Structure 1
Amino acid sequence: MIDRAIRLLAVIASCCAVIPAIGQPATGATPFNGAPTPFHRASPFAKPVIQAEPIDVSLGALTLHNTIDAGLAQNRDVQIARAALTAAKGILVNAGKRPNPMLTVGAGPGLIGRYQPRDADVLVNVSQLVERGNKRELRSEVASLAADAAQFDIEDIFRQVRLALANAYFAVKQAQDYVNLAQATRNAFARSREAAELRLKAGDIARVDLIRLRVEEGRSENELLQAHTDLAVAQVMLATLLAREQEAPSIRAVDPWPVPGDSMLQSDRIEALVDKRPDIRAAIARVHSLEAAFGLAKAQRIRDVNVAVIAERNLPANGGTTLVVQLSMPIFINNDYFGDIVRAEAELTSAQINLEKLRSNVHADVDRALAQFESARQQLMRFEAQMLPDALSASQAAEFAYKKGGIPLTDLLDARRQLYATQRELLESRKDFVNARTRLESTLIETDFRW
């Protein structure tokens, strides 16, 4: 008899687990006027995060494309973001589960003073909490939208890492060109000093001119040493982003400098591109998640029902087994969840304000990036079209005039210094242009502009 009762209880408990919610669903918050985020529930068997495989790239001939691919696969910040996304999707799996049923089994003597096992009082209780007010659906929606926000967060980290990788890559490129320029300048002064020693022996120049050339040669050697130091620092910074610090000295950037174009990004595309930014989309997803959380907090005022089925065998008292069905629900006397509702509403309001603030900041970033890009583009075009050719022409004329004895050594050294300074400023201008371009691309989430 007791075995049949337990089997009956198991059947009743399974039915309780699928009882539909009773009562009216909770009314959620007023929908926020933002971009809609589709609700989708992830399958527990779906792969939570796409784990990127390490990419083996040759650091001795590194391109920007390979740098970004390797960085996104191996950067430690990206790996941390992937782990956070996995945790968010794990919460989503549990959010849609129903509460587990409870099984209680007890036994005791049937009559006072009589302790015979066959007369024992056996009690079996199976209970199931039935949630009402769409709590499970709201809980799943909160977790799903939070997972969406975590997905957009990792995309925003990708955006930031791409920007950092591009800046670090071209910092290495600039440092390499500085080394080449400093080496060429040092070699030129060495040749001039050697020629001056021969001319001094022939009596064509004064000793003071040789001393001046030695000073300039020493200065060029110091600048070459500093250029090598700057290159080593830039290599370490890029290697850190690639998580390959031990191989930093072997890094060499081989891509050419980007060429500035003659046109700007069309302004009518800017607004559409801003809304595609992952940080904006993450903020919108969090607003919708907190809307669902607000509705869930209000749903706490809808009473859940606990359904219990009890089987009791007491041979001395009733001569067999008694079945009892029991319903219980809370009485909201001490706690009516008002505090939870107020907190959820405040968090929703804060998220809405934060979204508007973020949009304003993004528009400011776009305006600033556009202005910096246009300024850097015009400066670079002026350097390449006018200033560098003029400096080269002046330097060549000074070299020729000095060989013919038409100008003193000081004029020659001034022309060389002007050329060297112009070449360094050109490299700085190229890096400023690349940084402005990559920042603009990162700000607008666009990597294939037509410049």
Structure 2
Amino acid sequence: MFLEKNLDLLMTKYGIDNAKGLAITAKLFPNPIFSLFGGAAITQQQTFKGTRYITPQIEQMFLLAGKRGYRMESAGYGIQAAEATFTDAIRQLTLTLKDTYYQVQLANRRLDLAKDNQQRFHRILTIGEIRFKKGFIAEVELIRLRLQAVDFGAQVIRFTQEVQTALADLRILLAFPPTIDLVLTSDLVYTRVTPDIDRLRTEALDKRPDLQARRFVLSQQQANLRLAKSLRIPDPIVGGAFTMQGPQGGGNQQLYSLNLEVPLPVFDRNQGGIAQAEIAIQVAQVDLHKTTLEVQNEIEVNYRNLTQSQRLVEAYQAGVLDDAKTTFLILERAYQKGGATLIDVLDAARTSQTILQNYLEALFEYQRNLLLLERATGQDIL
């Protein structure tokens, strides 16, 4: 449904239909030309009835030097280039959909973390109010607790808005109205991958659709050069005519004739068209080389980024997350019993929140770098 309703994809698909239309035109032969001539002599005592004549004529141009074949060859490469461009558009839009899906996952995880922090700090605030009533803490300490609770509440509101914005972006890509509620069936989780980068490099240069499209464009321009060179050879026009004339027009009232027309390539031998075709080949070669370099660099950069983000996520999972959660939990319990100060609790809360938020960011960056590597290689890795 996503691919069927996307307007950008539909516009790209029309490019295939246009290329097929050009291929139909390339297969066609020139139309024959029908001519009709007539006349009579009306001077020197001649009459229209006696000298009238009429000549129907049919002419046909014959394409030489393989022009029709070169046009068909060029049009065929044009279709292949359009199809490869369409495949690349599907690839790009699919990756955009995945990236938006990950954005929703990240926003949901942030919201869950903010709600958890809000509930936990609400418990601490309740304990602080009890301790304040008993005279165990000063009023300024209670005010600090309330301010922090408000801050956690503001985070919940902000991340709720972030979730709604991400869901709206996802609905737009899926062509869904805002009345439809989207429910994600998976969460933002870590799945370790070890891609075979050498194989990915080789297959990307061979199979990435944008590279394929540029190769087809180069082949099309080479076919256009062959066509341009063939245009130096003139195409003859062969015709036949039948003349019927009155009794005073000549010795025979029915005449048959053949005619041959051949343009003489004295001045115009399509020099300009050949030069343009040669330049078009050079442009296509440079474009292909540029795209190849971009693909190679994209693969290297995204692979390195994936490796680094993978190390960062695993470093968090090696114990940092548990330490941050445990520290906050210990200080929370100690504060309930009067064994920790408010400053210790607030500091532990901020540290725990920062660590968990950074972990979510690292997890999202890992998923995104994996997605970017898939885009660079033109194939799925997971």
Shift of 1:160: 1.1
Give the Cα–Cα distance (whole angstroms) in 1 for the partners of residues 269 and 124 of structure 2.
91
Give the Cα–Cα distance (whole angstroms) in 2 for the partners of residues 401 and 195 of structure 1.
12
Q: Secondary structure at the match of 2:259?
A: strand
Q: Deviations over 1:379-420 (max 9, x none)?
A: 111122222111011111111211121110110111111111
1:75 aligned to 2:11?
no
Partner of 2:292: 359
Shift of 1:437: 0.6
Partner of 2:21: 90
Q: Secondary structure at the match of 2:160?
A: helix
Partner of 2:149: 217
Give the Cα–Cα distance (whole angstroms) in 2 for the partners of residues 219 and 249 of structure 1.
31
Give the Cα–Cα distance (whole angstroms) in 2 for the partners of residues 216 and 197 of structure 1.
14
Q: Aligned in 2, Cα 1:91/1:258: closer, same or farther, shift over 3 Å? A: farther
Matching of residues 396-435 of structure 1 within 5 Å:
396-435=329-368
Q: Aligned in 2, Cα 1:366/1:142: closer, same or farther, shift over 3 Å? A: same
Partner of 1:172: 104
1:343 aligned to 2:252?
no
Q: Which amino acid aligns with 2:119?
A: N
Which residue of 246, 258, 262 corresponds with 1:325?
Answer: 258
Which residue of 225, 228, 236 corresponds with 1:305?
Answer: 236
1:121 aligned to 2:53?
yes
- Whether the 8 Å CA contact 1:235–1:249 is kept in 2: the answer is no
Shift of 1:340: 0.8
Partner of 1:50: none
Partner of 1:263: 194
Shift of 1:191: 2.9
Give 5+ residue unaligned stretches, structure 1: 1-54, 56-70
Q: Which amino acid aligns with 2:77?
A: L
1:130 aligned to 2:58?
no
Q: Which amino acid aligns with 1:135?
A: K
Give the Cα–Cα distance (whole angstroms) in 1 for the partners of residues 370 and 341 of structure 2.
44
Give the Cα–Cα distance (whole angstroms) in 2 for the partners of residues 409 and 417 of structure 1.
12
Q: Aligned in 2, Cα 1:76/1:142: closer, same or farther, shift over 3 Å? A: same
Partner of 2:91: 159
Q: Which amino acid aligns with 1:81?
A: T
Shift of 1:166: 0.8
Shift of 1:248: 7.3
Q: Deviations over 1:188-221 (max 9, x none)?
A: 2233223322332222322122101110111112
- Whether the 8 Å CA contact 1:127–1:309 is kept in 2: the answer is yes
Give the Cα–Cα distance (whole angstroms) in 1 for the partners of residues 350 and 301 of structure 2.
34
Q: Which amino acid aligns with 2:75?
A: A
Shift of 1:268: 4.0
Give the Cα–Cα distance (whole angstroms) in 2 for the partners of residues 258 and 273 of structure 1.
27
Matching of residues 3-402 of structure 1 within 5 Å:
55=1, 71-109=2-40, 111-112=42-43, 114-116=47-49, 120-244=52-176, 246-247=177-178, 250-261=181-192, 263-315=194-246, 316-318=248-250, 319-402=252-335
Of stretches 293-302 and 175-184 in structure 1, the one that deviates more from structure 2 is: 175-184
RMSD over aligned CA atoms reads 1.9
Q: Which amino acid aligns with 1:102?
A: I
Give the Cα–Cα distance (whole angstroms) in 1 for the partners of residues 47 and 168 of structure 2.
84
Give the Cα–Cα distance (whole angstroms) in 2 for the partners of residues 410 and 173 of structure 1.
33
Partner of 1:16: none
Q: Which amino acid aligns with 2:150?
A: G
Q: Aligned in 2, Cα 1:255/1:216: closer, same or farther, shift over 3 Å? A: same
Q: Deviations over 1:129-175 (max 9, x none)?
A: 00000000000001110111111111111111121111111001111
Number of residue-to-residue matches in the alignment: 378
Shift of 1:110: 5.6
TM-score normalised according to structure 1 size? 0.80
Shift of 1:120: 4.1
Give the Cα–Cα distance (whole angstroms) in 1 for the partners of residues 314 and 185 of structure 2.
22
Q: Secondary structure at the match of 2:56?
A: strand
Q: Secondary structure at the match of 2:83?
A: helix
Q: Secondary structure at the match of 2:242?
A: strand
Give the Cα–Cα distance (whole angstroms) in 2 for the partners of residues 249 and 404 of structure 1.
48
Q: Secondary structure at the match of 1:247?
A: coil
Of stretches 136-145 and 346-355 in structure 1, the one that deviates more from structure 2 is: 346-355
Shift of 1:434: 0.8
Q: Deviations over 1:253-284 (max 9, x none)?
A: 22122423263424244223321101111111
- Whether the 8 Å CA contact 1:110–1:314 is kept in 2: the answer is no
